[in-house]
Amino acid sequence: MSNDMSFNAVMGRKNEIMKKAVGIDYENYEFSGIGFDYERMMRETGYSLQEVQDVQRASGVGNTPLIELKNLTALARKFAPKGKGARIFVKDESCNPSGSFKDRRASISAHNAKVKGYKGIAAATSGNYGAAVASQAAMKNLKCIIVQECYDSRKVGQPEILEKDRKCECYGAEVIQLTVGPELFYAYLRILEETGYFNASLYTPFGVVGIETLGYEVAMQCREMLGKDPDAVIVTHAGGGNVTGTARGLIKAGASDTEVIGASVDLSGLHMASDRDFNRKSFTTGHTGFGIPFATWPDRSDVPRSAARPLRYLDRYVTIKQGEVFYITEALAQLEGLERGPAGNTSLTAAFALAQEMDEDKVIVVQETEYTGAGKHILPQLSFARENGIEIKFGNPDDEVPGESIILPEHPSLIKARDVDLNKLKNSYIKNCVKNNDVEIATDDDVKFLMEDTKSDKQFVLNSLNNLNVRVY
């Protein structure tokens, strides 16, 4: 008898489908209360750093150059107080096979799929990850399906997503394009169940350990070039895997004193699943529409327990504006001769502002770039925004309203990094843990897990639980 393929029936089988498609029994790592054994899951289901390096080396991934941005540093110093203006470096991840750091994640998922005997590999993504999975699948002679959330109800698609479709198909992948809404996950579950393909989720241990080499390389290259660890590494934050993997790699390199800073584009007020809002944003990733929800509840992902847990590692979290990113993208090209995609310049924009707070002898590393192309370039993105009624002008980026305007800074001194209250996010996360696990009494093990998962001391967690009327037993 064939399975019931109705929406409710398929969604009801999601854990069973995901277990087969990922090959991980997450129940093995669950504690009795709120938490789970995160480090054991990463250790037993992932790969060692050496194994990851070997896999990536065989597929041409990693060992990308670390480049000092001397002209952007000089520009930042013009607006910094005397003695301030840290040296800005960028890890040029556009040198990976498909043109982004996502190749690091995809390489391990594709390797694992091949080793475990899967016929093919699938991913649900509208971003660079689809191209990365398609590229690595081609190298491994695996079939590949990429499912994209591509259009609004008018069948109008964003130029950046359409660019990703072109790139995925170039690598031989089958691309299934859907409109925005809940059908994406439903369609993806059906595909996994019907094909038996491996789920190259961004949120498995495979997807996170692949990025550990990025943080590790940053530390080792800084030591070789500068004789020291970077003082700060700034990471574009969306679903949390980029932050998590980079930070874990820095830790494995022994760079435990390096500050880990997350950066997202401010898209506050726009709903990511809204048909109206879908084409009123110029960034499909690296924005607060992912960064905030995934920080406050990482297990909203497509696996029972996400390996991407940004609050475990973030020391600071800032936002920047869409217009500021477009401006820095143009500045990178004209001042440094590097034309890279805007989404990858999210963290560079924040670094330009943050460098002005730091002493001149400090080093801040932007840990990724991405390729650019016909749809990812700033010109088609700005043209598309204007066609959708977005006002585009020069002025003060603080006046920008997501979904209504994109304000390019009329002077580079107006570019800012705006701090997000990490304690507020941590309290929201603890609240979600209590709510989603229906907890009235927390154990010492629950408290310990929450301390680790929020990078907080015991008193912070106890105060948060007390404010939720949760007793600690």
Q: What's the confidence (pLDDT) of residue 2?
A: 67
Bridge partners, 94 (sequence order): none
Q: Within its chain, how far is the Cα of 8 from the centroid?
A: 29
User: What is the full per-residue pLDDT of the chain (473 aa) written as tens digits?
Assistant: 468 899 999 988 988 999 899 999 999 999 999 999 999 999 998 899 999 999 999 999 999 999 999 999 999 999 999 999 999 999 999 999 999 999 999 999 999 999 999 999 999 998 899 999 999 999 999 999 999 999 999 999 989 999 999 999 999 999 999 998 878 889 999 999 999 999 999 999 999 999 999 999 999 999 999 999 999 999 999 999 999 999 999 999 999 999 999 999 999 999 988 999 999 999 989 999 999 999 999 999 989 999 999 999 999 999 999 999 999 999 999 999 999 999 889 999 999 999 999 999 999 999 999 999 888 999 999 999 999 999 999 999 999 999 999 999 999 999 999 999 999 999 999 999 999 999 999 999 999 999 999 999 999 999 999 999 999 98
Q: How many helices (H) and strands (E) does the chain have?
A: 18, 15
- Judge whether 412 and 331 are in contact, CB under 8 Å: yes
The span from the CA of 297 to the CA of 295, in Å, is: 6
In order of 18, 87, 317, 324, 429, the CA distances from 292 in angstroms are 25, 29, 10, 20, 10
Q: What's the confidence (pLDDT) of residue 289?
A: 95
Phi-psi region of 254 (alpha: psi -120 to 50; beta: other; left: phi over 0): left
- Model confidence pTM above 0.85: yes
In this structure, the number of other CB atoms found within 10 A of the CB of residue 27 comes to 11
Q: What's the confidence (pLDDT) of residue 427?
A: 98
- What contacts 153, CB < 8 A, 6 or more positions away? 179, 180, 275
The span from the CA of 76 to the CA of 66, in Å, is: 19
- Judge whether 291 and 263 are in contact, CB under 8 Å: no
In order of 59, 68, 85, 222, 260, the CA distances from 225 in angstroms are 26, 10, 19, 5, 20
The span from the CA of 145 to the CA of 176, in Å, is: 7
Q: What's the confidence (pLDDT) of residue 1?
A: 42
The span from the CA of 414 to the CA of 352, in Å, is: 11
Which among 157, 120, 162 has a CA at the least distance from the CA of 137? 120
The span from the CA of 323 to the CA of 334, in Å, is: 17
- Judge whether 382 and 392 are in contact, CB under 8 Å: yes
